[in-house]
Amino acid sequence: MDYKVEVAKQLSMKIDFLSVEEIEAILETPKDRELGDYAFPCFRLAKTLRKAPPMIAQDLLKDFIVEAPIAKVDAVGGYLNFTLDKTGVVKSVLEAIIEKGARYGSKDLGQGKNVVIDYSAPNIAKPFHVGHLRSTVIGNSLYKIYRFEGYNSIGINHLGDWGKQFGMLIAAYKHWGDDKALEDEPLKALLDLYVRIHAELDEHPEYEDEGRAWFKSLEDGDKEAERLWKWFVDLSLVEFNRIYDILGVSFDHFTGESFYNDKMEAVVAEIKEKNLLVESDGAYVVELGEDEPPCIILKRDGATIYATRDITAALYRKKNYDFEKCIYITDYAQDLHFKQWFKVIKLMGYEWADDLMHESFGRVSTEQGKLQTRKGNVILLDDLLNQSIGKVQSIIDERNPDLENKEDVAKAVGIGAVIFHDLSNNKNRDIVFNWDRMLSFEGETGPYVQYTHARACSVIRKSGVNDYADQIDYSLLLDPASLDVIQELAEFPDVVEQAMVRNEPSLITRKIILVAQRFNKFYHDCPILVEDQALKGSRLALVLAVKTVLATGLDLLGIKAPEKM
């Protein structure tokens, strides 16, 4: 049962000028649980009703017909407070979790509709660094959240495998390329070439023209340019897939920018046919209005640009996937880029342009400044993951050396720590990378949640009870510690929905931290494996519910939930 909705429905009988949805949006959760489970602030109605909020609260209280799940209604100051029938709440929450298991929390909002999620999208020939982590783990989590909510998620890795940078790389290879170095350490060798040619531009500005010419040759189908480009792509993908395997991230399609190379001509022709293409200083652009810079479609040399490829990709995706939403996960530096080409789609007459969503996120920088591949100022993701796994391995060797499958557990916890740290931040926040913070396992961290899950699993194993659904006495779970846990579990479905609506996985990290904290207090205050079988069975049911929700929450973040730690 959605208790907030039920309270809103009953309150709507007394407030006929607000809808159930409007009342639900106004309802609050009191910080002091003694005041009730939900509160309606009457200040919102003072202007409309021309009365003081306390008087409005008293008027609403008069003749209020209390029906389940509400047990009591009180007027306190300018608030109308609602207290739920606690036994009924405990019963419905635990029964729902036991019945639905890993599906608890899903409202099946998608009903099989398609949602395309474009995430990760690293540039070929550049190593995977911590700056790539954000798009990868945010996108992977949203992919899982939408699928959990009943959508058909379609994950696309729009690889940066086209553009002038490949012309620059081919030019650098022609000057200084070492085939053996490329075969031995491909991404390091490619990065060295990329950094070197940019470092030498001051003394050799002609290298810029060489790079531009090589890319034009690549677009025109030059065999040598194509051979080198494909080689660089293949070398890079081997390394990328190794990192994705470590992170547990996968995609339905690896259709990078190059995939649309033979499709762009028709799209440019369509833009021209619709009288949108305008010449500007030798380039061709779409004018977006007086207050906005134009969107470049073709550069002066006739080469395409990012926007051309993104417009082509969007048209292709709508035709082939008929998406309800198409979500792009990149940092906020690309806000203008997406705003521009989204508007081009709209000007082309496609109403589904409104279904294109750019979910930007904050950038990662170091204490020395922003990450810049061309200057070699990067923190390699490989190094971070290996250090995190190594730290967990050392802790296990010290505290629990006989742990089964300790290498697998170290990997799950080490990688989980890195992912959770990233997703625990609101996605719009900038992150200043700090080794100690990233590798901290104390406090509100992924390892803390994973350990709490393992603790719940341990209690269940030690209980020796296989089926206790018939042994639950819900009235035995009305103590403050138990009710605090139940409240967090009851809110989990709404949090998952909001994480999807707002495309914000951090809402789930915060919720499962609260579940873990409340459970650990319950574990401390309420002995579970007691002689009283009714009490034991009831508390074990709560332990099972916590285990289920923590495992689901971690999975939605792309993190494993070990049963032993």
* Residues marked as catalytic: 126, 129, 132
Containing 361, the helix (H) or strand (E) segment is strand 356-361
Q: Say if residues 416 and 560 touch (Cβ distance below 8 Å).
A: yes
Q: Say if residues 552 and 558 touch (Cβ distance below 8 Å).
A: no
Residues in contact with 90: Cβ distance below 8 Å, sequence separation at least 6, in sequence order? 474, 477, 478, 482, 483, 486
For residue 6, the one-letter residue type is E
**Helices assigned H by DSSP within 348-445:** 381-399, 406-423, 435-438
Cα–Cα–Cα angle for 371, 374, 377, rounded to 5 degrees: 35
CA dihedral 474, 480, 483, 487 (to 10 degrees): 170
Per-position b or e across 478-510, b if 16+ CB within 10 A of its CB: eeebbbbbbbbbbbbbbbbbebbeebbbbbbbb
Q: Say if residues 79 and 7 touch (Cβ distance below 8 Å).
A: no
DSSP assigned state of 14: T
Q: Say if residues 548 and 484 touch (Cβ distance below 8 Å).
A: no
Alpha-carbon span 435 to 416, nearest angstrom: 15
Alpha-carbon span 565 to 214, nearest angstrom: 54
> In the chain, what is the straight-line distance between the N-terminal and C-terminal CA atoms, in Å?
35
CA dihedral 28, 31, 34, 39 (to 10 degrees): -10
Alpha-carbon span 213 to 168, nearest angstrom: 9
Closest by CA position to 338, among listed 292, 374, 275? 292
DSSP string, 38-91: EEEEGGGGHHHHTS-HHHHHHHHHTT----TTEEEEEEETTEEEEEE-HHHHHH
DSSP string, 133-174: HHHHHHHHHHHHHHHHTT-EEEEE---B--SHHHHHHHHHHH
Alpha-carbon span 365 to 204, nearest angstrom: 30
Alpha-carbon span 184 to 1, nearest angstrom: 59
Alpha-carbon span 42 to 58, nearest angstrom: 10
Residues in contact with 556: Cβ distance below 8 Å, sequence separation at least 6, in sequence order? 141, 144, 145, 148, 496, 499, 505, 508
Q: Say if residues 261 and 226 touch (Cβ distance below 8 Å).
A: no
| Sign (positive or negative) of CA dihedral 282, 201, 381, 229 | positive
CA dihedral 66, 68, 71, 72 (to 10 degrees): -30
- Alpha carbon 418 to chain centroid distance? 14
